[in-house]
Every structure is written in structure tokens, then in C-alpha cells.
Amino acid sequence: MSKIIYCTFLKEEAERQDFQIYPGEIGERIYNEISKQAWAQWINKQTMLINEKKLSMMNLADRQLLEKEMCNFLFEGQEIHIAGYVPPSKS
């Protein structure tokens, strides 16, 4: 049975992650405060960041940038901005 938490990103109760999906203290905070739905939103943003900025997960600086953006997005409510990126129009 899934456990419900108060998701600090969505500002509502939602389904908790099945397990800690990120290491360390940040991972514990994600597990305790970020729902599956909010995490899925981050994964979409993360994919966009990796592709648009051509990040390599073999590069420590790129991983650190991604972690910083993740914390800003999930905990600070900051939107991801990429210079020159224009979201697809809704038709």
C-alpha cells in the first residue's frame, strides 16, 4: 500500500516515493517531502537540461549543476531556464 505524504513541491498530500531514489541528505529530504508526481516533473526538467545544455553525467561539474538545479526546482520553486529555449506552443 502506498504511503501519503505532504508534498512540499505540490503543496498538497500525494503518494510518497517507494524508496529513497537519491543518495545522502538530499535524498532523505526528497523521500520525506517530494511525491512521485513531483519527482516525475523533475525528471522531465532534468532530461531537458541534460539535452539542451549537453551535460555529461561523467563530468563532476555537470552533475553538481544538475543537483543544484534539482534542489532549486524541488525545494525553492524555481523554474528551469535555458537560454534560447522556447517551449512548444499549445495548439
Q: Judge whether residue 84 has pLDDT over 90.
A: no
> Given pLDDT bands bounded at 50, 70 and 90, which one contains residue 91?
low
* Residue 72 DSSP SS3: helix
Rounded to two decimals, the pTM is: 0.86
The pLDDT tens digits for 31-81 are: 999 999 999 999 999 999 999 999 999 999 999 999 999 999 999 999 887
| Residues ≥6 apart with Cβ < 8 Å to 54 | none
Instruction: Read off the pLDDT of each residue in 12-29 and give the average, rounded to a whole number.
Output: 95
The reply to whether 89 falls in a domain is no
CATH of the domain at 36: 1.10.3880.10
Number of structural domains in the chain: 1
pLDDT recorded at residue 63? 96
The reply to whether 65 falls in a domain is yes
Domain containing 63: what range?
4-76
Residue 46: closest CA among 25, 30, 28: 30
The reply to whether 84 falls in a domain is no
